[in-house]
Amino acid sequence: MAEEPIISVRNLTARYGEDVILEGVSLDVYGGEILAILGSSGCGKSTLLRHMVGLDRVSAGSVVIDGVDITTCRSQEYHRTLRKIGVLFQGSALFGSMTIGENVALPISEYAKLDKGPIGALVKMKLCAVGLDGYENHLPSEISGGMKKRAGLARSLALNPSILFLDEPTSGLDPIISAEIDGLIRRINQSLGTTMVIVTHDLGTIMHVADRSIMLDKSRKGIIAEGDPHELKRLSSNPIVRNFFLRQAREPTAESESRS
């Protein structure tokens, strides 16, 4: 893990209208790690992610990604920084009128000056990496929920980002498919060294995948705990943290157990 953070959030305040969702949030993300953002519904997990990637403008504070403060930089510099980032949205956000291959090709066509042949080869490579080889011509409506997550992940990897943001990557999936997605996330992290920020309330994903975690609380409008999730589960004296971790998690898979 790198000594200097690749992402630095300082005193971030997020509000929608008069409603303050987060106030004074500070955190660091280090190169090559998987950081999980935890908390109950409505605590601001997805809000924090959206502000970290610049989809929403901060009310106060800063977000520095690979040395660039995306809250104050010029538009051109922001878009250069965006090329280092991939985002998997909660609902996969695939375009229903486009094939899976066309969805994955979209960011490549937008940012890379390549002909159709090389783009097609890259699309096949990305789909193969997530176990969807041969599904280039399927529409999103023709594949399962788990496959949509994989397709969304393939699109987020299209430009070989060094940082991935994933919003609830296993939500709505059954435990077996969720465990498969967890394994895929871990393989990508280990094989490519990709830094990952994952928003999740899924204990299985948290315990099997995350190197470190932060927990948000709605009433505090910020972080109430930070550390290795296994240690937070065993050692935290905060009742909110303990109640969160004492829920029933998925049984660990053989792959996740081999990581311990």
Work out the percent of the chain whose per-residue pLDDT is above 70.
94
From CA 23, how far away is CA 76, in angstroms rounded?
A: 28
- Across residues 197-203, what is the average pLDDT? 93
**Tokens 């375009």 label which residue?**
95
Q: Are strands 163-167 and 85-88 parallel, antiparallel or unpaired?
A: parallel
Tokens standing for residue 256: 């996740």
Pull the structure tokens for residue 11: 């005193």
Position 2 scores a pLDDT of: 47
What would the mean pLDDT of 206-218 be, rounded to a whole number? 96
* Per-residue pLDDT at 249: 52
Q: Specify the 3-state DSSP secondary structure of 26.
A: strand
CA dist., res. 58 & res. 145, Å (int): 32
* pLDDT at res. 166: 96
For residue 99, give the nearest of 145, 134, 131, 129 by alpha carbon. 134
The pLDDT, as a whole number, for residue 242 is 92
Interval 127-166: pLDDT, tens: 999 999 999 999 999 999 999 999 999 999 999 999 999 9
Give the rounded percent of residues in the chain with a pLDDT score beyond 90: 79
- Give helix 100-111 / helix 145-156 axis angle, nearest 10°: 10
Residue pair 185/154 in contact (Cβ under 8 Å)? The answer is no
Task: Assess whether pLDDT exceeds 60 at residue 235.
Answer: yes
What residue segments make up the domains of the chain, in order of their start?
Answer: 5-84+162-259, 92-160
Chain segment 34-81, per-residue pLDDT in tens = 999 999 888 999 999 999 999 999 999 999 999 999 999 998 999 889
Interior CA angle at 105 toward 78 and 185, to 5°? 75
pLDDT at position 172, please? 85
CA pair distance 77, 79, nearest whole angstrom = 5
- Angle 211-229-167 from CA coordinates, rounded to 5°: 70
Looking up tokens 């315990």 gives 207
As to burial, measured by CB atoms within 10 angstroms (0-12 exposed, 13-18 middle, 19+ buried), residue 43 is buried
* pLDDT of res. 248: 52
> Which residue would you say has higher pLDDT here, 260 or 12?
12
Q: Count of H helices and E strands in the chain?
A: 10, 10
- Whether residue 201 contacts residue 40, with contact meaning beta carbons closer than 8 Å, is answered with yes
Model pTM greater than 0.85?
Answer: yes
Q: Is 259's pLDDT higher than 50?
A: no
- Give the residue from 122, 110, 188, 114 showing the smallest Cα distance to 158: 122
* Domain 5-84+162-259 falls under CATH 3.40.50.300: yes
Beta-carbon contacts of residue 237 (< 8 Å; ≥ 6 apart): none
